[in-house]
Structure 1
Amino acid sequence: MSVRPTDASPRGSAPAPRPAQASALGAPQPQPPRPQTSAADSEPRPLHASALDAAARHPERVAAISVDGRSGEVRGRITYRELAEASARVAGGLRELGVGRGDVVSAIVPNRLEFSVLVLAISRLGAVFSGLPTAIGRARGEATVTRSGARVLVAAPGEPLALALALRDVCPRLEHVVALDGADAQGALPYELLAAAAPLTGEEPVDAHALAHIGFTSGTTGEPKGVMNTHATLGAVCRAWVEHVGGDETFGDPAVNLVASPVGHHTGFLWGALLSARLAATAVYLDRWIPAVAAETIARLGVTTMHGAPTFLQDLVRVERFDAARARSLRIVTLAGAPIPRELVPAAAARLDAAIVPAWGMTEYGIAISASPAMRKARLEAGDGVPVGAAQARVTRDGAPVATGEVGALEIRGPGLFTGYHEREDATREAFDADGWFATGDLASIADDGVVALQGRTKDIIVRGGENVPVAEVESTLFRHPDVVEAAVVAVPDERLGERALAVVAVVPGRRPPSLAELVDFCLAQGLSKHYLPEYVAHVEALPKTGSGKVLKTELRDRYQGVPDGR
């Protein structure tokens, strides 16, 4: 089954491929068919245009705030006028280092206001940004920086800077390391020198269809790949989603956006820096996640919106006295980046006077499916939303569309879709069909009213004796257990049946972990089919996750390849 929004124009023949791009990134990259945009889509613009517009309209509005995640102390703030001026200087400094159109600048930095300055400066040069998580290891860091071809790497003090200096010696195209705090430069170029450089002059227009970002997938199920997005694809995502949820006024006037997801991940980059600029919002950068501090920050700074994995909201609703009265400024909370326990949305909505909006996206298509505050409760509880803007979604099995309501492989296309995998022609060809449909690697079903329900990753499928076990349904059932705070279900090998289901659970601190028999009884009482029941259980203090909150199921599968305890 496929679904398109009612305001999308009908598709005719397959779109023509875009000509291959050649730049300082190396050889031309293969381009998948470029989806048509609807008449409702406005003309695409470069990423920095929104921030410069905000500087012209609201020069003294605070654009970004840095908050110490341990203490809640505000460490710095910058207005939109200052942001425009600072980005011009940093762009000028980068140009002095030889950075030009198509060159890649990478960063290993925490959530700080300098991130907004850096992203804006790179965009103004027509260069390409590629972020890395601060916890990245040496092997992954070397592979990522080498693959992206970064010429400059900006790093925070401590381990990120030490790694950056080591990478300078082994990554062939890496020429300069910039230390975010000059006092700890350790032989790198202090960021303060960039910030004090002569402003960029002779600024030339940037092509909205030029490459703007290489985001490396988190690799929760395999090797990370460099996802190429243009100014146009990223802008289309932000523009369409804001309209989808009700327009700028939905987020507050002015909007105050809590950026808790790491900016080295696509979530923090897109929902933090880019969406904040699109809304002319104040981005509140929280450099670490301590729920009580985050709750206090929301109340004290009047946060109106936040976006991130369900983990963030789960943590907040457990904070004592964090309720509608304490968080009265909060208007909309968007959940994306990991499976959403069905019980979390109504539970949080009952406690907070804010719209809780599930959404789904990936580095390849930032926000393709989303609910909205206007969706009826029944539709919201039935799934994760509908295609956003001109995005289209369909569900297939073996390449053919499935019937309404059946689970299959989710495929998407639309104006926000990435242009290909960097230096991976093989992966790009494999990901797209001739009509531009992208295979997401997710399982989903689409109801007759167009609501899409995500059912987990295709690689999460457990095939027990020839029958598929719906992992998302089992996990959602486990989440309802009063003692369970986190749950993941993975396959363990079995000689007779091929695979069996293992439930990995973390419990409320101080509670006794439920036995397998107790979990089975609970699942049966909740109506879970007998042949979907977990057959093993493992208890952990917390599930392993990426910095953006995604559960690392590859790590769980590797950890429990043998027969686990607790059957």
Structure 2
Amino acid sequence: MRPDSRLTRALAVEYAASGAWKPATLRSLLTEAAREHPDRVAAVDRSTGGSDVARLTYAELDERAHRYACGLHALGVRPGDVVSVMLPNRFDFAALIFAINEVGAVYSGIPAAYGEREVEVILRRTRAKVVVVTERFGSNRPLEPVQRLRAGLPNLQHVVVVGGDGGTASLESLLDSPEVGLPDVDPRALCHLGFTSGTTGEPKGVMNTHQSLRAVLDGWVAHQRRETLGEHVVNLVASPVGHHTGFLWGVLLTTLLRGTAVYLDRWVPAQVPSVVREDRVTTMFSAPTFLQDLMQTDLVTDDDCSLRTVVLAGGPVPRTLPATAGETFGCYVCPAWGMTELGIGISCAPHLPPEATATDGVAVPDTEVRVVGPDGTEVEDDTIGNLQIRGPGLFLGYFELPEATAADIGPDGWFATGDTARRTREGYVLLEGRTKDIVIRGGENIPVTVVESLLYQHPDVLEASVIGVPDPRLGERACAVVVPAGDTVPTLPELCDFLTTKGLSRHFLPERLEIAEALPKTPSGKIRKVDLRQRYGQ
């Protein structure tokens, strides 16, 4: 067992005996889908602003993944080596993920929009042997930082480039590699290194095996009940596949469900409705900001909208958004809580009472959740505390950071998520914010998520975030950073009056207002509060 892992032999035996850990690799998901539905469309490439659409059946995707696996083997990739992929959303990204699994290597994704600092952290920490990168992505040039960094990355042996410029190999050339016998892959082996978003600090490498990732998928599908997702799932993959949401809930879930993944390389809200209509999209996993964007498009006028399930994870969910958007699009909007360390551990589901969508839901099967106080004991219902979680879908630990693993995962297996939450008497969990995002004014905690959720309900507010700014007497004061919904710019007194009419206590009101054209976000749509604190926290 690794020193940076929470896993013990006894725990591994327990997970396997319960059936939570299956003796199968992630690559087997594609193998089985291709055997069962060889002619079904597995993946659709949609380039933003372009008219070209490309499709692959499951048989074609399976063959493409195998050819890439042979190509990676020809480059010297062996079990345990790390291969990083820095591409926009496209079906080749999915094929490469399964190829990396097939050769027994470890996949590590890098969103194509990342800058040099983030790229350097991931390539250095993983000691990646190969990186697959695109030369350009919109105004970004992902290949350029890789080339600048290469001399300082002694483990990086190959840069594989889409189109072939600037690397030792082109991605296309891997398809022509000779057939080779590939090793059997252990489903217990490390197969994925995902990096935390870095919204509150430097990213850490999150370790997962084939079995731990499959446990997350199985738990959420069991919670939703497979039949509620529809006979044929068409999943709009808008969140970057290089990020955990696009990887887990785009590539892997769609393959598990034998559905069709529609890969959108960039999020341009005005262009999304045509994609939804043409491909009859049924499902989408995204941060709340993506759904809020859709509410501003002409998709709201469709009487026959194909959307069936929209899952909101990756950021605080405004409490009225699920009901409002669900009614508008005629679909089930599912609030959920997840993080890189455990894809989704808390979720709503259609079989729960309707009022559940005003919460973040309940623990999914095989996952335990508790809310504890500073002393580590569980707090009473409706009391804000620190959210902890454990189960077979929990990550193994932080890559080569045993101290960080031990600090966040206790000997009893409970993981300190860094989120604050409360549990209602009915058993529903409501996320209140990140521990690091708490605003403490004069010794009293301000419920940041509650304030933000109410601000979203103001007609002149498109987006809102609340941060703490230093105060010499009270320690901190709450500052609301707001993006106006139109030409009318709300004032601080107007917002405070609105919040009090919604029942917010006056001592929770923001005492400063900043107007912004846009809020800084990660590629997956999370608001980067660390940037807001740097900008306004002086």
- The TM-score with structure 2 as length reference comes to 0.96
Alignment pair present for 1:354 and 2:344: no
Deviations 1:192-236 (A, max 9, x none): 11122123x433332111101101101101111000011011001
Q: Is the 8 A contact 2:6 2:413 kept in 1?
A: no
Structure 1 residue corresponding to 2:215, chosen from 236, 252, 258: 236
Structure 2 residue corresponding to 1:316, chosen from 294, 316, 340: 294
Distance 1:256 1:493, change over 3 A: same
Q: Which residue identity is paired with 2:418? A: G
Structure 2 residue corresponding to 1:189, chosen from 163, 166, 169: 169
Give SS of 2:254's match. helix
Q: Which residue of 1 aligns with 2:190?
A: 211
Q: Which residue identity is paired with 1:538? A: E
Distance 2:257 2:250 in 1: 11
Q: Which residue of 1 aligns with 2:159?
A: 177
Q: Which residue of 2 aligns with 1:464?
A: 441
Give the drift of 1:321: 4.3
Q: Which residue identity is paired with 1:198? A: P
Poorly superposed stretches of 4+, deviation over 6 Å: none
Q: Is the 8 A contact 2:21 2:212 kept in 1?
A: no
Q: Which residue identity is paired with 2:532? A: L
Structure 1 residue corresponding to 2:39, chosen from 57, 60, 76: 60
Q: Which residue of 1 aligns with 2:458?
A: 481
Distance 2:392 2:167 in 1: 43
Q: More displaced, 203-212 or 359-368?
A: 203-212
Distance 2:231 2:270 in 1: 26
Deviations 1:408-464 (A, max 9, x none): 000000010000101111111101111010000000111232211111101111111
Distance 2:507 2:167 in 1: 61
Give SS of 1:401's match. coil
Q: More displaced, 146-155 or 130-139?
A: 130-139
Q: More displaced, 449-458 or 52-61?
A: 449-458
Give SS of 1:400's match. coil
Q: Which residue of 1 aligns with 2:322?
A: 345
Give SS of 1:205's match. coil
1:124-523 to structure 2, matched below 5 A, reads: 124-158=102-136, 159-182=141-164, 185-199=165-179, 201-247=180-226, 249-327=227-305, 329-381=306-358, 383-398=359-374, 399-509=376-486, 511-523=487-499
Give the drift of 1:302: 0.9
Give SS of 2:206's match. strand
Q: Report the number of matched residues.
A: 529
Q: Is the 8 A contact 1:65 1:74 kept in 2?
A: no
Q: Is the 8 A contact 1:116 1:273 kept in 2?
A: yes
Q: Which residue identity is paired with 1:532? A: F
Distance 2:355 2:228 in 1: 21
Give SS of 2:258's match. coil
Distance 2:300 2:262 in 1: 19
Distance 1:187 1:150, change over 3 A: closer
Give the drift of 1:43: 2.3
Q: Which residue of 2 aligns with 1:29?
A: 4
Distance 2:167 2:335 in 1: 45
Give SS of 1:218's match. coil
Give the gaps of 5 or more residues in structure 1: 1-18, 21-27, 563-567
Q: Is the 8 A contact 2:83 2:107 kept in 1?
A: yes
Give the drift of 1:140: 2.2
Give SS of 2:480's match. strand
Give the drift of 1:44: 4.0
Alignment pair present for 1:560 and 2:536: yes
Q: Is the 8 A contact 2:6 2:409 kept in 1?
A: no
Give SS of 2:215's match. helix
- The TM-score with structure 1 as length reference comes to 0.91
Q: More displaced, 275-284 or 29-38?
A: 29-38
Give the drift of 1:494: 0.3
Distance 1:44 1:411, change over 3 A: farther
1:96-107 to structure 2, matched below 5 A, reads: 96-107=74-85
Give the drift of 1:378: 1.9
Deviations 1:500-521 (A, max 9, x none): 0000000113x22111111111
Q: Is the 8 A contact 1:257 1:304 kept in 2?
A: yes
Distance 1:133 1:110 in 2: 7
Q: Is the 8 A contact 2:82 2:108 kept in 1?
A: yes
Distance 2:356 2:414 in 1: 26
Give SS of 2:300's match. coil
Distance 1:284 1:209 in 2: 30
Q: Is the 8 A contact 1:469 1:532 kept in 2?
A: yes
Distance 2:402 2:316 in 1: 30
Give the drift of 1:538: 0.1
Q: Which residue of 2 aligns with 1:16?
A: none
Q: Which residue identity is paired with 2:154? A: P
Distance 1:337 1:483 in 2: 24
Give the gaps of 5 or more residues in structure 2: none
Q: Which residue identity is paired with 1:78? A: L
Give the drift of 1:403: 0.8
Give SS of 1:474's match. helix
Distance 1:62 1:537 in 2: 49
Q: Is the 8 A contact 2:4 2:405 kept in 1?
A: no
Distance 1:42 1:373 in 2: 26
Percent identity at matched positions?
A: 49
Q: Which residue identity is paired with 2:419? A: D
Q: Is the 8 A contact 1:149 1:173 kept in 2?
A: yes
Distance 1:395 1:324 in 2: 41
Distance 1:166 1:244 in 2: 46
Distance 1:456 1:165 in 2: 38
Q: Which residue identity is paired with 2:207? A: M
